[in-house]
Structures are given as C-alpha cells and as structure tokens.
Amino acid sequence: MLICHCNLITEKEIEQTIRSLLAADPWGLIVPAKVYHALQKRGRCCGCFPNVVETIIRVTEDFHRELGEEAAESVTFLDRVRGLRRQHEGNNEGRQKGHRAA
C-alpha cells in the first residue's frame, strides 16, 4: 500500500526503515523526518505524516514486544502517545470551527 503519494513510498518500505532504525538504536526517537531521511526522501506536502506516525507507533510496539516482556513499559508509553494523538486529532491549530483561510 502506498503511504506517501509525493515520494511513492510504500508502507512496507516505511516499516523496513523503522525496523532498521530500531535495530541500530532500540530506544531512539523516530519521527517521520528521520524515516524519510533514511530513505533519502523529503516530506513535500507532508499529508502522509499522520499515517507515518501511526506506522512508527505500531512497528515500535511490535519491535519491543518481540524483545520481551521487560519492554512492556515502552508499549504503555506508546499508548499514551497514541492517546495524545487522538486528543489533538482535528486540532485546527487554534482556529475556530468554520474558519476559512480564503
């Protein structure tokens, strides 16, 4: 499945890149720009970034689950990150509902 239409990046490519970043540093902070940099790509419209963040969370959870139970704490942390994302979902950067730029 294609995640980034601007750069033609598939979900599989993103997952593989996240796994290679986690293999190099299991506790490193992974953000979309880091993934794209590893792929030698750049965000253009960045409309894919919310999906990339979800993929980062999912793959990181799976990676740490595969490491063993002592990593369960990281999964709790990622649940909190996901909760914050939901809380701010639809946040229109402080604009009032019905605001139109043009």
**Footprint on this chain of ligand FES (rule: CB under 6 A):** 4-7, 43-48
Contact 60, 22 (CB under 8 A): yes
Q: Which is nearer to ligand FES, 19 or 43 (CB)?
A: 43
DSSP code, position 69: G
Q: Which is nearer to ligand FES, 37 or 43 (CB)?
A: 43
Question: CB of residue 32 vs ligand FES: minimum separation in angstroms?
Answer: 9
Q: 11-24 vs 49-67: helix axis angle to the nearest 10? A: 50
Contact 48, 37 (CB under 8 A): no
Question: CB of residue 99 vs ligand FES: minimum separation in angstroms?
Answer: 23
Q: Which is nearer to ligand FES, 3 or 57 (CB)?
A: 3
